[in-house]
Amino acid sequence: MVSLRTVPTLAAVSLLAALMGGCSSFSLNGNTPTAQEPPAPREIPSSIRSDELVGRWGLAAYHKPEDRARTENAARGQCRQPYIIGKGPTGGVIMHLADEATPQELRLKGSESGKNYIGPEGPVGSPQDREILSFDGRVLTTRFLDPDAATRYGTMVYVRCAPRA
């Protein structure tokens, strides 16, 4: 026969056994195992420095590759009303994201494949990023990675404006 004192003890032991079986991180000695987070992907610096992009730019866009030369000339004509790429407070560049009215600080990001991107903080190749297709110091060509934005905006051509006299 079971005494009345052993019933609460058996109930407590049963409860502890159930808790220990259902929770793999339960430990009586206070050392709970911690799950190892996978390491963050290594950030690869861009081969283009943000200072190289800061300045006044004529901006135009094309959808067909055969329109590139005409579009560069059109971008030069936009220097009367230039697109300003500013220097960000933490080392990035101040530019617009697709469909955003207010410019914000964006990062220049490199990739293992050697491509460069401009986009918000975060992993390279996110939908808000734009790939830098070419840059020679005077002409910058980019394309948004998001297919919808790429279709609407096309390939964007920035031509550096001459310094003000």
Each residue's pLDDT tens digit, 55-82: 999 999 999 999 999 999 999 999 999 9
Is the separation of the CB atoms in 53 and 77 below 8 Å? no
The distance in angstroms from the start CA to the end CA of the chain is 104
Query: Which residue range forms the structural domain that includes residue 84?
Result: 50-160
pLDDT in tens, 80-134: 999 999 999 999 999 999 999 999 999 999 999 999 999 999 999 999 999 999 9
Specify if 7 maps to a domain.
Answer: no
CB atoms within 10 A of CB 1: 2
Quote the pLDDT of residue 53.
Answer: 98
Number of domains in the chain: 1
Domain-embedded: residue 8: no
User: Is residue 44 in some structural domain?
Assistant: no
Q: Where are the beta strands (DSSP E) in 63-154?
A: 83-87, 93-95, 104-110, 116-119, 130-135, 139-144
| 3-class SS of residue 102 | coil
Contacts of 84 (CB under 8 A, 6+ apart): 55, 56, 57, 94
Q: Considering the domain boundaries, does residue 27 fall inside one? A: no
Q: What are phi and psi of 81, to 5 degrees?
A: -130, 75
Q: What are the tokens at 80?
A: 């009367």
Residue 4, in any domain of the structure: no
Residue 162 confidence (pLDDT)? 87
Q: Is 28 inside a domain boundary?
A: no
**pLDDT score, position 163:** 81
Q: Is residue 3 part of a domain?
A: no
Per residue in 3-44, pLDDT (tens digit) is 556 555 555 555 555 555 555 444 455 555 556 665 556 678
Look at residue 46 and tell me whether its pLDDT is greater than 80. yes
CA-to-CA distance for 117 and 48, rounded, in angstroms?
9
Q: Please tell me the predicted confidence (pLDDT) of residue 9.
A: 59
Domain assignment present for residue 123? The answer is yes
